[in-house]
Amino acid sequence: MITLKTHSQPAGSTVKVVLTGENKPCHCPGVDQDALKALAVKPGTIKTLNALEGETLRAALYGVLPEKLGYDALEEMASLLSKELKALKAKQVDILLGDDALQGLSEAFYKQLLLMDDQFTHYQTTGFAPIDPSAKAPDKEVFQPDFTLYLPDSFDLAAEEGRLQTAAHLAGGIRSARRLVNEPANVMSPQRLAEDAQALAREHGFEIEVFDEKQIQQMGLQAFWSVAKGSDTPPRFLVMRYMNNPDTNELLALVGKGLTYDSGGYAVKPATGMVTMHCDMGGAAAVIGAISALTAMKAKVNVVAVVAACENMISGHAYRNGDIIGSLAGKYIEVVNTDAEGRLTLADAITYAATVLKADKIIDIATLTGAAIVALGEEITGVVADDEGIWQAVQAASQTSGDKVWRMPHDECLAKHNKSERADIKNSGGRQAGTATAALFCRAFAFGKPWGHLDIAGTAYHEGANAKAPAGATGVGAELLARAAIELFK
C-alpha cells in the first residue's frame, strides 16, 4: 500500500529513505542537506546510513537519481531499494522525495513500489514436512512494505493521488497477467484460463463469453480446432467486452495468443526449448490484464479481447506437418510446420474479431517467434503494424509504460514468403524475416482492417530476474495495450 503525504506532514516509520535528484535541492524535513552532500552518493545508487537520528529510526537509506532521469534508471533505483528493504525486513517505510526527484515519472515509480512483492513463490514451501498428506504447505512469506511517500510541496497532491490510482490499476493488470503465465501448464489449462478470466470479469465488471470445444467446431474455427484437437485437454474460446465510450461506435479488438502449452506438435521442440512453453499464453494474459486494468480505471474505450486457448500436443488425433486445414475466413492453410501453431489459432481469433465482432481496429499480441528473440533480445517487443495510428498509439504507450518496442517491416515482399503451392497460404515463410512473415500471416486474416501486432516471445518470460520484473512472467503487454487503447480513443 502507498499513502501520499506532503513534506509538511510528520513522518514516523522506523525505516526512512531519502530520494533526491542529482543537483536538485532537497527540502525534505529533518534532513541536513549539507550532511547528505558530504556523503557523496553516486547518481543511480543507494547508500545505507546508520541510524542518523532519533531512537525509533532503525535504518536510513539515501538514494540519488540521475539528473536526466529515464525509465531504466528509475527501475534500477526501485530494484536497489527493494533489495535493501528486503534485507532490512522493512514493514513500514517512509520515503522522502526531494524537489523534482522524479521528474514526471511518479506514476512509474508508484508502479514499481506496488509490484515490489511480486515474486512467484506459490510452489516454494518453507521447509514444511507434511505429516498429514492432505495438509497444504504454507506459502512463502511475501515481502510488501507499506510506503508513505512525502512529496515536496511543489507537487499537486490531488493530481498525484490520481496518478497513484492509475498506477495501482495498471499494476493490478500486470500482476494478473504474471500470475496467469507463471502457473505451469498442468494447472493453467484452457478451462482454468477461462475460469480465471471469468473471476477477473466479475471482480472488475467486464463482460465475458466462453465457448467450449463443441461450440468452437460449430462456429467454424477450423484452424484453431486443428491445433487444439491433438490434446486431451479441451480448448476454450474467450470473448471479453468492455464498452465504456458512448461518444463513438468505434470498437478496438485485442487478440491474445493463448497456447497454454506448446510442445511443437509433430515438429516437436527439444526438451530445453519446451520447459518454459507454459508461457505461450502470454498474449492471452496480456489482453486479459489489459481489459481488467481498463475496466478498473473506467477508461473511456470500447474494447473486445479475444483469446483462442488450447494446447499444441502430439497424439493420434493431432494435426500433421503437410496437412491442409480450413479456417473461419474460408482460406485453406498448408501446415508446413506444426510448431507454427500460434498464428493458426490467431488467424481464426482475428477473423472472428474482424467479421463476427465487427471490430474497426485489431491489435494482436503473441509469444509468436523465436526470430523475435534473435532480432531484438529479451527486453524489446517487436511491433509490426500496417496502420500509422496504431503504431503511434503503441509507441506513445511504450513511452509511459517503460516497455521498449521496435517497429519491424510489413513490406509486401515479405508477405510473399507465405505463399503456398498447395493451398491459399502456408503457416511458415521459412527462416528469413521470421517475425515479420509470421505477423503478415496474421494480417491476412484481418480483412483489411487497420492492424497491429506485438511479438512478445522474448519479453513475456525471463528465466532470471531483472530490474523491471522478478524471475518468470513479466506481464508485458497488459499495461502497454491498456495505454495504447486509451491513446486510440483520445
Query: How would you label 461-476 residue by residue, b for 16+ Cβ within 10 Å and e otherwise?
Result: bbeeeebbbbebbbbb
Nearer to ligand BES, 43 or 370 (CB): 370
Q: Is 431 a catalytic residue?
A: no
The enclosing H or E element of 210 equals strand 207-211
CB of 181 to Mn ion, least distance (A): 16
Cell of 64: 540519488
Nearer to ligand BES, 90 or 310 (CB): 310
> Applying CB under 6 A, does 428 fall inside the site for ligand BES?
yes
Amino acid code (one letter) for 57:
L
> Applying CB under 6 A, does 457 fall inside the site for ligand BES?
yes
Which entry of 16, 229, 236, 343 is annotated as an active-site residue? 343
d(CA 449, CA 325): 24
Q: Match 499495461 to its residue by C-alpha cell.
A: 479
> Applying CB under 5 A, does 262 fall inside the site for Mn ion?
yes
450 binds, among ligand BES, Zn ion, Mn ion, none (CB under 5 to 8 A by kind): none
Residue (of 174, 95, 165) closest to 482 by Cα position: 174
Which entry of 241, 269, 300, 331 is annotated as an active-site residue? 269
- 3-state secondary structure at position 139: strand
Q: Is 5 a catalytic residue?
A: no
> Applying CB under 5 A, does 280 fall inside the site for Zn ion?
yes
Orientation of helix 434-443 relative to helix 342-351, angle to 10°: 30
Orientation of helix 157-182 relative to helix 190-204, angle to 10°: 160
Q: Match 527493494 to its residue by C-alpha cell.
A: 82
Backbone angles phi, psi at 46, to 5 degrees: -130, 140
Cell of 46: 543507494
Nearer to ligand BES, 82 or 427 (CB): 427
> Applying CB under 6 A, does 341 fall inside the site for ligand BES?
yes
> Applying CB under 5 A, does 339 fall inside the site for Mn ion?
yes
Candidate ranges 57-65, 214-222, 333-341, 397-405; the one touching ligand BES (CB under 6 A): 333-341
Candidate list 75, 118, 262, 348; residue touching ligand BES; CB under 6 A = 262
Candidate list 46, 97, 371, 444; residue touching ligand BES; CB under 6 A = 371
Candidate ranges 24-32, 65-73, 213-221, 337-345; the one touching Mn ion (CB under 5 A): 337-345
Cell of 289: 490484464
- Site of interaction with ligand BES (CB under 6 A): 262, 280, 337, 339-342, 367-371, 428, 434, 457
Catalytic residues: 269, 343
